[in-house]
Amino acid sequence: MKRLIVWIGLVSGALAAAQTPATAPASQSTSPTDDAAAAAAAGEGSMEGEPSDQQLAVPSDSSMVNDLSAPGGVDDARFRDVAKELRCPTCTGLSVLESEASFSVQIKDQVREQMQLGKNKEQILNFFTDRYGPWILREPPAKGFSLLAWLVPIALLCLGPLVIWFTVWKRRVHISTHGVRGNEPIIAEMQERLQQLKLKQGKGGV
Amino acid sequence: MLANYGFFLLYLCFICCFYGFLAAIGAAVWRHRRLYLSSKLAVTSSCVFVVIAAGIMIYSFYQRDYSIAYIAKNSSNDLPSLFTLTAFWSSLEGSHMLWTTLLAIVATIAVWTHSKDNEHVIPYVLAALQAVLAWMFYLAISHSDPFVASLPAPPDGRGMNELLQNGYMAIHPPLLFIGYTCLAVPFAYSIAALLYGDITEGWLKAVRRWTLVAFVFLTAAITLGGRWAYVELGWAGYWAWDPVENSSFMPWLMCTALLHSLLVQDKLGHLKRLSIILGIAGFFMTFVGTFLTRSGVVSSVHSFAESPIGPNYLAYLAGLMLISVSIFAFRAPSILPADTEKVWGVSKESALVMTQFLLLSFAAIIFIGTMFPIVTEALTKQRITVQAPYFNLFAPWIGLGFIVSITMGQLLRYQSAKIPYGKQIIFGSVAVAIPLSFILIYFGDVMSTVKTSSLIAQLVGLYLSSWAISCLCGDLFIKMKDLNFNYGIFFKRNLAYFGGWLAHIGAMIAIIGFMGNYRGIEKRVSLNAGQSFEFYGYRFEMDHGIVVKTEKNATLYTAPMKVYHGSDLIYDLHPAQSKYPTKDQTFNEIGIDGNMWHDIYVVLVDFDKTDGKRVTFQININPTVRFVWLAIMIICAGGLVALFDRYRGNKSRDVVAGEWEVAV
């Protein structure tokens, strides 16, 4: 088995190796979109580690660490709290907080603007639902038809155990087996007969 | 040219399976042995043909034969060797073909390795499996043909999806599909039991084994998918409750519930019909999941019409449902529970039923959450969203239920409300859990990572799971004590128990790990070259800006970052953005390192395009993520251990296998 795996690996490796000469020029010809970044790595030979002279020339005392999490004097924790509740319109399953898609960035900017206007979380969320509809919220609203999305699971979790309790646990189950017998009665009957047989033999012996 | 042979082989497979399906029905009705063997050979030959077809596909991928449209769409000249192989299943037609191939292989293994005492149901099993296979092959040749030509062949392909060029994505789909296809066997056996009209010990043995295999593969596959999201997508989490993830999780829940109902069925002869329902439903859910993710229904009902495979899937699902339900409705009365009087009361079997209830209601909640936007849009024309916050609200309650029911299920004994050494274990654990949870709270750093609103929930959760772990250990100790610490006997006779015990310990550790999802801190920061930044007791230093390097087919813009704790250098991170020649977009390569208690997760968000000296990072501290990976490994190990248990039948009634009437 191991040999087979190794064999397959080798064959696929060989096939790939046969392809490499064709691929090499293709990968070199492609240029990165931002040539400046390429300039930063002027010598492509020094792949890792060694910073180039150019990089050392940057004065490191120019500005202090810039904390980007709260630009515009907006409280970070509150911002996250709001941004977490809004969906990224272009991705599946993410909030705008977790996404860097251009649409999400716009929404985040809007959230900051609204916070600077002094609105609270509820007001900001209302602002977005007015503009985009309830779709923009990550949870279904607890009113109208969407209320079902909340009631059904809660009812299921609360009533389910009760239903099981009353229908299954409390009931003494007796099954009619339509004439097909299980092992136990047969075994019991046979033991009884055996007992009788032994008794008879015992009497006969005396 | 080869592509034509590939298509021809798929066509042949369809014909083989269709014939095999009819032959199996004939074999079952007339109890005709020759027909049965012929049907068995039909499924085997379709397996051989589809494997050859898959081989042709893979060979063409390595030949970079762009005259096949699928290869032109999903491969390119600069694709590395490994990803040239995995590009096979990186898109719809290929993954459908991979699934079909695996199903054919699994079906063949299942019908050739069945035990002697299952021979009476195997014709039905063959019929069910080949009906499914025939449909899959029909789809492959009609709507999702991977061998469609695109002539003239373009000089270079359009390239594989960059997000999928990752080792985890190379093995996640095959493992998941193996899990899905293994669930086809319990399904086929369930249909067979209904049609034959009885459940035997051999049936239970076969179904238990295949369900366990499916369980192990699904667990591993789902986790690898989560790991892929964690290291590739850059939103600092591994589970987003998006429809694709949900659709793989629902079959897992069904499969796990099935394992537990098989246990009750084995020990007491009850819950037979539930096992059958779960066997059918688990397999059905795998197709529901595929339908949801493939048809585009999830994003909006209106995208449904765009994909031709969607309506076909819907028709198939409806057909499968209709046939299964009607077979069940007509034949279920023939499946009888054991002939014993039964009061459930407080006992192990009741705890097992509670666990199943929790697993199934979890599946139901996920199903409701996934389907609700579609239903709402169809009924009220209003678009709504159901995402992570909705599921995250219910999950802790289900988790709480799991802690209690798993512990009680492990401690209680069958048909008895008495727990041996119950008081000592339960109240002893109440005490033992205090230091244990204190360790978790201290090292997990709950106090400084938690949001104030969920502090109590975190503390209660950690305490309860420590209590549960302690109770489980107590139970294992009592079991050992009963055997006078004779490990030979324990590992010879009690592997099923030990496997279950491991899986449950794993579940508890996983719950502790999942709780880390509800806390954690994050910071976004912009650094110039040479600057450093203090966060969560660590000093993050970027001594020089962006470094550009080429790796395989991608160009990496890396910002090497050193992480100090005090004055010691502890982690060397390489967060990067990668750029592939075929796309304008860049992708995240995340710098992750950390210890058992928390991961440091650094995403390179943006950098100064002029000189690469100023870089913006998103830094996340994710608590107890490694607990989850560890826990899943333990759960899989538990599943494997249980698989090696030498099965001993219990209380199910056995029926002598039917003889062949036409045995020639």
Side chain identity, residue B220: A
Gap from B188 CA to chain A (nearest CA, Å): 25
A107, A124, A104: which is closest to A116 by C-alpha?
Answer: A124
CB contact under 8 A, A177 and B336: yes
* Chain B touched by A139 (CB under 8 Å): yes
CB contact under 8 A, B382 and A12: no
Tokens 């209302």: give the residue.
A126
- Chosen for mutation from A34, A99, A132, A136 (greatest number of chain B CBs closer than 10 Å) is A34
| Contact in structure between B529 and B570 (CB atoms under 8 Å) | no
Give the one of A34, A51, A153 whose C-beta lies nearest to B368's C-beta: A153
Which tokens sit at B424? 């000592």
The total domain count for chain B is 3
| Contact in structure between B241 and B369 (CB atoms under 8 Å) | yes
Tokens 């990976």: give the residue.
B629
Q: Could you tell me if B175 and B324 lie in one domain?
A: yes
For residue A38, the chain B residues in CB contact (below 8 A) are 548
3-state helix, strand, coil in chain B (%, to 5): 65, 10, 25
Q: Could you tell me if B153 and B197 lie in one domain?
A: no
What's the mean pLDDT in A137-161? 89
The answer as to whether B241 is a domain residue is yes
Which three-class secondary structure state does DSSP give residue B238?
coil
For residue A130, what are the contacts with CB-CB under 8 A and spacing of at least 6? none
ipTM exceeding the 0.90 mark: no
pLDDT in the model for residue B647: 61
pLDDT in the model for residue A1: 38
- CA dist., res. B275 & res. B111, Å (int): 21
The answer as to whether B388 is a domain residue is no
pLDDT in the model for residue B195: 93
B177, B344, B186: which is closest to B257 by C-alpha?
Answer: B186
For residue B547, the chain A residues in CB contact (below 8 A) are 40-41, 47-48
B256, B344, B364: which is closest to A164 by C-alpha?
Answer: B344
Q: Could you tell me if B287 and B256 lie in one domain?
A: yes
Give the one of A87, A156, A185 whose C-beta lies nearest to B361's C-beta: A156
B471, B365, B382, B458: which is closest to B423 by C-alpha?
Answer: B471
Tell me the per-residue pLDDT of B80-133, one tens digit each, with 9 for 90 and over. Answer: 888 999 999 888 888 899 999 999 999 999 999 987 778 889 999 999 999 999
Q: Could you tell me if B173 and B160 lie in one domain?
A: no
pLDDT in the model for residue B268: 82
Lowest mean pLDDT among A13-27, A85-99, B69-83, B173-187: A13-27
The answer as to whether B469 is a domain residue is no
CB contact under 8 A, A181 and B339: yes
| Contact in structure between B350 and B414 (CB atoms under 8 Å) | no
Q: Which helix (H) or strand (E) holds B318?
A: helix B309-331
CB contact under 8 A, B62 and A15: yes
Q: Could you tell me if B85 and B187 lie in one domain?
A: no
pLDDT in the model for residue B15: 96
Which tokens sit at B560? 């090497």
Phi and psi, residue B626, nearest 5°:
-70, -25
Chain A's closest residue to B650, CA to CA, is A183
Q: Which of B403, B419, B435 corresponds to the end of one domain?
A: B419
Q: Which of B419, B440, B460 corresponds to the end of one domain?
A: B419
The answer as to whether B366 is a domain residue is no
Please count the other Cβ atoms lying within 10 Å of the Cβ belonging to residue A15.
Answer: 18
Residue A99 has pLDDT above 70, yes or no: yes
The answer as to whether B491 is a domain residue is no
For residue B112, what are the contacts with CB-CB under 8 A and spacing of at least 6? B40, B44
Domain that holds residue B330: 166-349+415-419
Phi and psi, residue A44, nearest 5°:
-70, -15
Tokens 């198939």: give the residue.
B316
CB contact under 8 A, B525 and A169: no
Phi and psi, residue B468, nearest 5°:
-65, -45
* Chain B touched by A141 (CB under 8 Å): yes
Q: Could you tell me if B303 and B175 lie in one domain?
A: yes
- CA dist., res. B118 & res. B105, Å (int): 20
- Chosen for mutation from B66, B270, B344 (greatest number of chain A CBs closer than 10 Å) is B344
Say which DSSP state B595 is in: -
Q: Which helix (H) or strand (E) holds A169?
A: none
pLDDT in the model for residue B269: 81
For residue B235, the chain A residues in CB contact (below 8 A) are 94, 98-99
Side chain identity, residue B503: A
Q: Which of B391, B419, B447 corresponds to the end of one domain?
A: B419
| Contact in structure between B650 and B584 (CB atoms under 8 Å) | no
CB contact under 8 A, B548 and A27: no
The answer as to whether B445 is a domain residue is no
CB contact under 8 A, B62 and A99: no
- CA dist., res. A100 & res. A108, Å (int): 10
- Chosen for mutation from B548, B590, B616 (greatest number of chain A CBs closer than 10 Å) is B548
For residue B343, the chain A residues in CB contact (below 8 A) are 169, 172-173
- CA dist., res. B76 & res. B87, Å (int): 10
Gap from A127 CA to chain B (nearest CA, Å): 16
Residue A109 has pLDDT above 60, yes or no: yes
B-proximal residues of A, 39-98, CB under 8 Å = 39-41, 44, 47-49, 51-52, 54-56, 58, 60, 62-69, 80, 84-85, 87, 92-95, 98
Q: Could you tell me if B146 and B1 lie in one domain?
A: yes
Give the one of B59, B361, B579 whose C-beta lies nearest to A157's C-beta: B361
Q: Could you tell me if B196 and B336 lie in one domain?
A: yes
Q: State yes or no: cis peptide before B243, omega within 30 of 0.
A: no
Q: Could you tell me if B31 and B106 lie in one domain?
A: yes
* Chain B touched by A175 (CB under 8 Å): yes
Q: Flag residues of chain B having pLDDT under 70.
A: 295-308, 339-343, 452-453, 582, 647-664
pLDDT in the model for residue A62: 37
For residue B609, the chain A residues in CB contact (below 8 A) are 34, 36-37
User: What domains appear along chain A, each with residue ranges and CATH number?
Assistant: 71-141 (1.10.8.640)
Which three-class secondary structure state does DSSP give residue B90?
coil
Question: What is the signed CA dihedral for B146, B152, B157, B158, rounded to 10 degrees?
Answer: -90
The answer as to whether B405 is a domain residue is no
For residue A144, the chain B residues in CB contact (below 8 A) are 380
- Chosen for mutation from B528, B542, B621 (greatest number of chain A CBs closer than 10 Å) is B528
Chain B's closest residue to A50, CA to CA, is B544
CB contact under 8 A, A40 and B236: no
The answer as to whether B358 is a domain residue is no
Q: What is the CATH number of the domain that holds B227?
A: 1.20.120
* Chain A touched by B389 (CB under 8 Å): yes
CB contact under 8 A, A93 and B240: yes
Side chain identity, residue A13: G
Gap from B232 CA to chain A (nearest CA, Å): 13
Output the DSSP codes for B431-488.
Answer: HHHHHHHHHHHHHTTHHHHS-GGGHHHHHHHHHHHHHHHHHHHHHHHHHHHHTTT-HH
A-proximal residues of B, 80-119, CB under 8 Å = 80-81, 84-85
- CA dist., res. A82 & res. B386, Å (int): 17
Q: Could you tell me if B157 and B274 lie in one domain?
A: no
| Contact in structure between B580 and B557 (CB atoms under 8 Å) | no
For residue B15, what are the contacts with CB-CB under 8 A and spacing of at least 6? none
Gap from B546 CA to chain A (nearest CA, Å): 7
Chain B's closest residue to A143, CA to CA, is B384
Alpha helices per DSSP H over A69-182 = 76-83, 102-116, 121-132, 147-164
B644, B643, B410: which is closest to B508 by C-alpha?
Answer: B410
Chain A's closest residue to B271, CA to CA, is A168
State the burial class of residue B614 (Cβ atoms within 10 Å of its Cβ: 0-12, 13-18, 19+).
Answer: buried
pLDDT in the model for residue B298: 63
For residue B322, what are the contacts with CB-CB under 8 A and spacing of at least 6? none
For residue A172, the chain B residues in CB contact (below 8 A) are 341-343
Q: Could you tell me if B233 and B182 lie in one domain?
A: yes
Q: Which helix (H) or strand (E) holds B571?
A: strand B568-573
Q: Could you tell me if B152 and B173 lie in one domain?
A: no
